[in-house]
Amino acid sequence: MKIEPPFARRFYASPIPNFDKFDPCRGVEGYCTAIRKFLMPDSSPASFSFAEFEIVSRTYCKGSVFSRVRKLSEEKLDKLSSTPLMVDDFFPPTSNAGQVRAGRFNAEGERKLYLADHPFIALKECGIKPGDYFLFSYFTFSKDTHFTYAAHDGSRFSQLLSSLFATKDERFYEVIRRVYNDYCNYETHHGIAYDSVKVQRNQQDATWGTIDSVTNLAMTEDKFPAARLHAGWLARCDEQYRPCYEQMLLPTAKKKRQLLSVPYFGNESMFLSAHRNVMKKIQQIRKKNEILIQREDYEDIHATPFKLLTQQGYR
């Protein structure tokens, strides 16, 4: 991962709105208007306003490894006895496969690929609890990718965005989505990077140890081809918040959508051998990725992103 130099900044005189608790009296439109006013305080219905602001662009090199978790419903779990898992099961569901719930950066029915830099983060962000069944997976990037990031210690507008994106009040989700689309969503980028709201950096966990990264990614649907499933598992969360694997799923070269299943029960020796090989390969990929970063062997963005917004800013 590489953090690019920030875009140009300006000074903002308006106070940063508070996003701890959603105010129904202000509403979604009120918050969106306040954020636009913060960026362009002199904007009026009769004016053409221009503003520039600092935001970070993060580059994740080809081969970067991220974790993903999908909680399984009882209905889906029951179907697994007769229907094998496919590659698509590890991606967000399509409209034909099931309803996509609204999330921090996606509206209801909108597909976004949520990834985490650490497996523990992926479990926590998905709300996994002991006894839950879920799909755990590692994804790798097939090309150099770029994600916007609002730094909490950046410009005042970056601080505003960071504060909004970090809110724990889900009533702000519609505000987050609209603000992201207007100020952070660019054709040059694959989505947005943001910090976990459920885990603190360097948090200690009895099972997982020190959590040294709290980065999440939300990738837009048209950029999904850059993410490839490297390996997946059907697992259950135990009382120590560890995944108890019941099945490993590996992509096959000949059949791109199908997966090779390696069950655990009754096949422990083969499963453990396959599991070790996968984890060894992931470590090799990560080491290679570190070398690429040190050599600065990756593709940069050579253009300054910009946006044209309507006068009201929101439709």
CA distances from residue 282 to 89, 150, 213 in whole angstroms, order as listed = 21, 29, 17
The distance in angstroms from the start CA to the end CA of the chain is: 35
Strand segments (E) across the chain: 2-3, 56-60, 65-71, 112-116, 133-141, 145-149, 191-195, 203-205, 209-211, 215-220, 227-237, 243-251, 259-263
Of 215, 28, 237, the residue nearest 115 (C-alpha):
215
Q: What is the pLDDT of residue 311?
A: 61
At 15, is the pLDDT very low, low, confident or very high (cuts 50, 70, 90)? Answer: low
Average pLDDT in the 184-210 region? 92
Domain borders along the chain are 2-57+150-176, 63-144+193-295
Q: What is the pLDDT of residue 11?
A: 46
* pLDDT tens digits along 146-172: 999 999 999 889 999 999 999 999 999
Of 113, 116, 187, 194, the residue nearest 150 (C-alpha):
194
Place of tokens 């690019």: 4
Between 300 and 266, the more confident residue is: 266
What is the C-alpha to C-alpha distance for residues 232 and 203, in angstroms, rounded to an integer? 26
* pLDDT tens digits along 260-276: 999 999 999 999 999 99
Of 264, 230, 247, the residue nearest 90 (C-alpha):
230
The percent of the chain in helix, strand and coil, each rounded to the nearest 5, is: 30, 25, 50
What is the C-alpha to C-alpha distance for residues 156 and 68, in angstroms, rounded to an integer? 32
What is the C-alpha to C-alpha distance for residues 290 and 231, in angstroms, rounded to an integer? 21
At 7, is the pLDDT very low, low, confident or very high (cuts 50, 70, 90)? Answer: very low
DSSP for residue 296: T
Q: What is the pLDDT of residue 5?
A: 47
Mean pLDDT across the chain, nearest whole number?
88
* DSSP structure string for 124-193: HHTT--TT-EEEEEEEEESS-EEEEE--TTS-HHHHHHHHHHT---GGGHHHHHHHHHHHT--TTSSEEE
Element (H, E) at 274: helix 268-295
Between 137 and 48, the more confident residue is: 137
* pLDDT tens digits along 79-128: 887 789 999 999 998 866 557 888 999 999 999 999 999 999 999 999 99
